[in-house]
Structure 1
Amino acid sequence: MPRPFDVTTETSAGVADVVAAFSAQEYWLARLAAYGGDSMTLDSLVVDDDGGIVVRTTQDLRQEMLPGAIGRLLPGDTAITRTESWRPATDGQVHGEFTIAARGVPSSGAGTMVLQPVPAGSRLRVRGSLEVRIPIMGGRIERYVADLIAREVPQMQQFTASWIAGEA
C-alpha cells in the first residue's frame, strides 16, 4: 500500500531566486555534492524558453548507505532515479511534479510540488506517495524513505537559500 507524505518548509530566498537556482547546472552539482557525494549524478537538466525546468538525477544506493536490515535486503546495484519538472504559473507560484524510480527494487514514487511567495521569502510544499513492493519489509522501507524525505526537503531548501546568498 503506498505511503503518503506531505512536507512544507519556508526559506528566506524568493521564488524567482529559487527558480533561477533550479535552472543552473552549478547549483545542481553543488547540491548533489552536498547531499549525495559521489553516489549522486546529474543525468540531465533542461531549461525551456518558457521557463520550464526538468532535472533528472540518479543515486547509487550501496548497501552500506542504508540501515542494516534494509541494506541487506536490497541488491548491490540498486539505484534511485528522480525526475523533477517545474513550470511557472500565472499567480507567482511555480508548480512541479516528481517521479522516483528504482533499479533493482520493485518500487516507485510520485507527487507534486508548489513553490509560492511568502512575505519572508518562499514556501515549498511537497506532497506525494511511495510504494515498495517487497513482502514484509516494504512498509518498513517506505517509512524510512518517507521520514528521510521529511528531513531532507527542509535541509535542501536551506541549502538553496544559502547557495543563492553565496554561502554554500
Structure 2
Amino acid sequence: MPRTFTLSEHYPASVEQVYAVFADEHYWRARLAESGADVVALEEITVGPDGGVDVLTKQGIHRAKLPALAAQFHPGNLDLARHETWHPVRDGRARAQVVGKVVGAPAKLSGDAVLAPSSGGCELRLTATVQVDIPLVGGKIESFIGGQLAELMNTEQRFTLAWLRQGGAASTT
C-alpha cells in the first residue's frame, strides 16, 4: 500500500529568490555533485518561455552502500531518476510536480511541491507518495524510502541555503 509523506523546509529568502536558484543550471550541477551519490547526472534542465523549469536528474548509489533490505530486492547499483516540473511564480507561490523512480525496480514516487511565503522568507512543502510493489515487504521499503526522502530534502535544503548565502557558489565541504 503506498505511503504518503509531507515534508517542509524553510529558506530565509523570498519565493522569487529560491525559484531563481531552481532555474539555475550551475546550481543543479553543484547540488548533484554535493549530493553524496556515487554517480550523478543532470540529464536536462529547460527554462521555458513562461519561466517554467523542467529538471531531469539521475543519481546512483553503488550496491555495496545499499542497506541490506534494499540490496536483497534490487540487484546491482540503485539508480534514481527524478523529474521536477516547476511552474512560474504566481500570486507569490511556485508549484511543482515531482516524479521519481528507481530504475529497474518496482519503486516510484510522485508528489507536489509548493514554495510559499512564510515568516522570514519562504517554505518549501513537499507531499509525496511512495509506492513499492513487492509483496509482504513493500511497506517496509516505502517507510525506508520516506526516511531517506526526508534526509535527502534536508541535505538539499542545507546546500540551497549555502548557495543563497554565497550568491550562487556554494560548497558544503
> Normalising by structure 1, what TM-score?
0.92
Moved more, 10-19 or 123-132: 10-19
In 2: Cα distance, 1:112 partner to 1:25 partner: 22
| Alpha-carbon distance in 1 for matches of 2:50, 2:3 | 34
In structure 1, the residue matched to 2:110 is 110
Query: In 2, distance between residues paired with 1:133 and 1:37?
Result: 24
C-alpha contact (below 8 Å) 2:35/2:155 kept by paired residues: no
Indicate yes or no: 2:170 matched with 1:151: no
Tell me by how many angstroms 1:141 deviates. Answer: 1.3
Query: % of aligned pairs identical?
Result: 33
Q: Which runs of 4+ in 1 moved over 3 A?
A: none
3-state SS, counterpart of residue 87 of structure 2? strand
Cα pair 1:36 1:59 within 8 Å, conserved: no
The answer to whether the Cα contact below 8 Å between 1:23 and 1:47 also exists between their aligned partners in 2 is: yes
Q: Matches of 2:69 and 2:150 in 1, distance apart?
A: 21
* 1:162 partner letter: A
Residues 43-72 of structure 1 show CA distances to partners (whole Å, capped at 9, x for unaligned) of: 000001211001011122322232123223
- Aligned partner of 2:54 in structure 1 is 54
Structure-to-structure mapping, 1:1-168, within 5 angstroms: 1-166=1-166, 167-168=170-171
* Residues 94 and 115, structure 1, Cα contact 8 Å, conserved in 2: yes
CA contact (8 A) 1:18 1:161 kept: no
CA distance in 1, matches of 2:107, 2:158: 28
Q: Per-residue displacement from partner, 1:11-49 (whole Å, max 9, x unpaired)?
A: 212211111111111101111011134422110000012
Distance in 2 separating the partners of 1:47 and 1:138 = 36
Structure 1 contact 75–104 (Cα < 8 Å) conserved: no
Deviation at 1:90, TM superposition (A): 2.4
State the Cα distance separating 1:137 from its structure 2 match: 2.4
Kept in 2: contact 1:111–1:129 (CA 8 A) = yes
Q: Residue type of the partner of 2:114?
A: V
What secondary structure does 1:136 align onto?
Answer: coil
CA shift for structure 1 position 148: 1.1
Q: Greater CA deviation, 64-73 or 44-53?
A: 64-73
For residues 69 and 23 of structure 1, what CA distance do their matches in structure 2 show?
Answer: 36
